[in-house]
């Protein structure tokens, strides 16, 4: 449980436009619950699957990549290593 509490503290310090926002955390019944910002736009994998056989524009891909890099840099600048970057990670902005 100590590692999970530490993760909640780290999440609470990550404030960046490309990172899903931490809202709160609490313990109950021997579990730690972490409340994060709701991301109704889904994740990157869902967007790729919805697109089917139509290619994304180069500008869209570059914008998403820049957002991912910017968020990752923010995390690294705080001396934290994100160990789970993948297409199923929720994205905050899908415009």
- 42 and 90 Cβ atoms separated by less than 8 Å: yes
DSSP 26: E
CATH topology of domain 2-77: Phosphorylase Kinase; domain 1 (3.30.200)
pLDDT at 90 over 70: no
Structure confidence at residue 45 (pLDDT): 85
Return phi, psi of residue 20, to 5°: -60, 130
Give per-residue pLDDT as tens, 6-40.
Answer: 889 999 999 999 888 999 999 999 999 999 998 88
Query: Which residues form the catalytic set?
Result: 84
Structure confidence at residue 76 (pLDDT): 93
Give per-residue pLDDT as tens, 41-89.
Answer: 788 888 888 888 899 999 999 998 998 899 999 999 999 988 777 777 7
Q: What is the pTM of this model?
A: 0.78
pLDDT at 94 over 60: no
């Amino acid at each position: 449980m100590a590692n999970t509490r530490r993760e909640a503290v780290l999440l609470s310090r990550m404030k960046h436009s490309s990172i899903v926002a931490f809202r709160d955390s609490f313990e109950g019944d021997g579990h730690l619950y972490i409340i994060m910002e709701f991301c109704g736009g889904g994740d990157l994998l869902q967007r790729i699957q919805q697109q089917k056989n139509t290619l994304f524009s180069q500008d869209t891909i570059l914008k998403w990549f820049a957002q991912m890099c910017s968020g990752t840099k923010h995390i690294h600048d705080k001396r934290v290593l994100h160990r789970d970057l993948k297409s199923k990670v929720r994205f905050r902005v899908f415009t």
